Structure 1
């Protein structure tokens, strides 16, 4: 049971472990400071993921997006299409999937597969892969996080940032190595 002076609210304003890490104190001093800090700390409890929470996070950042016909949040960042998908039996898995705006010829398949394999071997995020589509090979990125027990607003924001930033890094690195495409009309 919590004492009456503890409040649970939607946001946590301080992190005890983080403060202790950067403000080391001795035993009694630390214990007294911790007790005082607990009296004034708002704790955000994890909440289930929803499309609305994702939309709210993107809106707070000033990003433009829309809800597609499947009910998924989608938008473009640096010309690349991204989807914010809720997967799993209870919509507990947030997947941020990006599609590179460019296309590669089928003849570049071996080089593309080597590049995606190198990326996946050297980095945790995002998982990247190539997929054949109507106009050649296209590249995708995915960051998936299981929030079975819910997520705080900070956890959701961090996951969204990770999905967008790491994918943008991958897409930019591929774009920098890719020669401009020559359309069939120009030949």
Structure 2
């Protein structure tokens, strides 16, 4: 095989044209198969709560070929803590490949997000979808747990709120 010759098979021995396209049905099928609870909003976006944090599955791009999983840390931290939160987030980002983490000021509180995006223009296998979901959840939730340790009062308040619901 030459340096610029494209392989005729992809992951798991699939022929390059045999990869199934990314679709909402594949995402919900994955979630159903793993007994995960989720909902679909009016825009067709799939979302749910995992360990008390809201995650969404977005299909982006001209042909909805990009899968982005975005999670939001479900804690209330004042916008005045922006500098400290940026230090936590940037230190985590400096040592890890994913997920991408960022902080936004949302009115008087901080929104802290984790995202992992992959281009599936040529389709994907079930194993790739599993890896994308599992790695995003595990790494995002690890960061959210790290923040819970840094902000124990906010974590306790959020957990108490969940127990009341």
1:134, distance to aligned residue in structure 2 (A):
3.1
Asked if 1:64 corresponds to 2:37, the answer is yes
Give the stretch that moved more between structures: 147-156 or 103-112.
Answer: 103-112
Deviations 1:21-43 (A, max 9, x none): xxxxxxxxxxxxxxxxxxxxx84
Partner of 1:90: 63
Specify which of 110, 114, 118 is matched with residue 91 of structure 2.
118
Partner of 2:161: none
Distance 1:149 1:119 in 2: 31
1:129, distance to aligned residue in structure 2 (A):
0.6
1:106, distance to aligned residue in structure 2 (A):
1.6
Partner of 2:132: 159
Matches within 5 A, 1:104-183: 104-181=77-154
- SS of the residue aligned with 1:145? strand
TM-score (norm 1): 0.72
Partner of 1:100: 73
CA contact (8 A) 1:103 1:135 kept: no
Distance 2:108 2:19 in 1: 43
1:178, distance to aligned residue in structure 2 (A):
0.4
- SS of the residue aligned with 1:167? helix
Partner of 1:27: none
- Between the two proteins, the alignment pairs up a number of residues equal to 144
Distance 1:86 1:166 in 2: 20
1:135, distance to aligned residue in structure 2 (A):
4.5
Deviations 1:153-175 (A, max 9, x none): 11111101111111101101001
Extract unaligned runs of 5+ from structure 2.
1-10, 158-165
